[in-house]
Amino acid sequence: MLKNLAVLVLLLFAAGLDARAAPAEQPADQPKDPRIALLKRLPAGSKLEDLRPSPIPGIYEFIQGADVSYLTADGKYFLDGNLYDMDTRENLTEARRDVARAALINAVPESQMLIFSPKNPLYTVTVFTDIDCPYCRKLHSEMTEYNKLGVRIRYVFYPRTGPGTESWRKAEAVWCSPDRNDALTRAKAGAELDLSKTCGPTPVAREYALGESIGVRGTPAIVTENGSYISGYMPPQELVKQLKQLQSQRPQVAHD
């Protein structure tokens, strides 16, 4: 009996040595991320994170800035348009644009914005503004009413005429002023600005590029906290009504 037990122990010990000596089984090759091949069909500079599966099997969603389009998994077909959920009638593409816009704007520090706020704001909107735009001036002339209704307005610059133009230089002059909010108010009222003032780099170019990436085509362009886009001027009461409606439709995007 003892002899048999000793033999069993020796056999088990030898088996343990063999197991330790044997090379570990190699895992099967992991499938490559299909997005890698798709990147070759997309514009230069596109990244893996720009692609994600869409709600439709075999279709990928492609996002650049706030532009959303779709690509078949084999890279053969590119689709540009809105995707709707037929059960809920929700525009899924616009919902993704909202998320993208909110993320891009939330990446801008508020120290790079001009803010006009009531003491206890109920809503915050980001407004792409041009100092010479008539409807931008009309919006600003009603700032007291917007604030009274609880709307906090964060301005970013979007001189529609582009770099090097007079509107662009006015935006930079406002930024270089000791009191930027006051300078903006005076400029929108038609006051002359000293366009020769410089103060080093300003956020005007970055904010203009931001407007381009989220699809701003005219001013004022209003973006809500959840990324919804409101094109053009809206009177204070109407804006609040719109903000209430949008707020009830979709949860606000949390800020970092």
Quote the tokens at residue 154.
């964060």
Nearest to 194 by CA among 202, 203, 185, 183: 183
pLDDT digits (tens, 9 = 90+) for 57-76: 999 999 988 899 999 998 88
**pLDDT value at 9 more than 90:** no
Distance CA 107, CA 204 (A): 15
pLDDT digits (tens, 9 = 90+) for 77-92: 999 999 999 999 999 9
Q: Kindly give, in sequence order, each residue whose CB lies less than 8 Å from that of residue 47, ignoring residues fewer than 6 positions away.
A: 39
Q: Considering the entire predicted model, what is its pTM?
A: 0.79
**pLDDT value at 30 more than 60:** no
Distance CA 140, CA 190 (A): 12
User: Could you tell me the domains of the chain?
Assistant: 34-92 (3.10.450), 106-249 (3.40.30.10)
pLDDT digits (tens, 9 = 90+) for 84-116: 999 999 999 999 999 999 999 999 999 999 999
pLDDT of residue 168: 95
